[in-house]
Structure 1
Amino acid sequence: MNFTRNASASWQGSIKEGKGDITTGSGALKKAVYAFGTRFKDENGTNPEELIGAAHAGCYTMQLSGLLGENDYTPDELHTDAQVTFKDGEIVKIALSVSGKVPNIKEDEFVKIAEKAKEVCPVSKLLDTEITLDAKLKV
């Protein structure tokens, strides 16, 4: 499967006083506001780090579902949180935390498949940073 996805960003002004917006080709984001305050403070709007976290969590969760299916498991529910750590001008770590409700699977099998998903997820492979995983099976 081959495809290309599109997104765009605009910016006006200086880094601290300026602001911009981000739009995705699908329309899921339309001129989502970002600025110095939304990135480095707690102001309303988005920022590149949370968008990377969302992309990573989404990609990883789909990858995990696919690998579970290859092993004859169908998840009732999977939920992944991604915590992106920015330090001294770079993203230094992404901590993934996944929980899943998967019938007829043992915890060790779930963790093993979850770890493999982290390694083969296309977004994981793209990122040049430490990626950790905490996987828990819900009962």
Structure 2
Amino acid sequence: MAVTSEATTVWKGTLFEGSGDVALDSSGLATFPVNWKARAEGAAGTTNPEELLAAAHSSCFSMALSLALAQAGTPAESIQTTAAVTFEAGKGVLGSHLLVSARVPGLSEEQFEALADDAKKNCPISQALTGIPITIEAELA
């Protein structure tokens, strides 16, 4: 079954002085303010498309790794993934770096790194991001 997820942004004003709100329509769970300063200067208090992309990438990767670990017969007790998506004005999204730490009883560091690398390549968000470099640091906790 295909599932379509939706979000809506309402923007007011120019790019540099304006601002908007992005609503998670499918879940109805949240609405976030967005503006250019958060995107280009890292200003606090609002989000930006790259932070939302990082949220999508970290959650998708964690799900893919959880599946891979379970299929290998070594389910994780916990997985923590941070995705750092880099944006530069005039250049766009430059890459996504995944930093993952997991508790997985009975798994060697080498096995874990191999499964994490496979999850990095095959999670649907990574596949959607094939136009940018995706790097990973993976360690067992």
TM-score category by the smaller chain? over 0.9
Task: Tell me which of 91, 116, 119 is aligned to 1:117.
Answer: 119
Aligned to 1:132: 135
Report sequence identity in percent: 36
Give 1:135 shift: 0.5
Aligned to 1:106: 108
SS at match of 2:16: coil
Q: What does 1:1-139 align with in structure 2 at a 5 Å threshold?
A: 1-25=1-25, 26-30=27-31, 32-41=32-41, 42-87=43-88, 88-127=90-129, 128-138=131-141
Letter in 2 for 1:133: I
Give 1:92 shift: 1.1
Give 1:89 shift: 2.9
| Runs of at least 4 residues off by over 6 Å | none
Letter in 1 for 2:106: N
Residues 75-133 of structure 1, C-alpha deviations (whole Å, 9 max, x = no match): 11100011111123311111101011001111100000000000110000001200001
Q: TM-score, normalised by structure 1?
A: 0.94
Q: TM-score, normalised by structure 2?
A: 0.93
Give 1:3 shift: 1.0
Instruction: Name structure 2 gaps, 5 residues minimum.
Output: none
Alpha carbons 2:40, 2:87 under 8 Å: kept: no
Alpha-carbon distance in 2 for matches of 1:106, 1:8: 43
Give 1:43 shift: 3.1
Instruction: Name structure 1 gaps, 5 residues minimum.
Output: none
Alpha-carbon distance in 2 for matches of 1:33, 1:11: 10
Alpha-carbon distance in 2 for matches of 1:137, 1:123: 23
SS at match of 1:2: coil
Give 1:63 shift: 0.4
Letter in 2 for 1:51: L
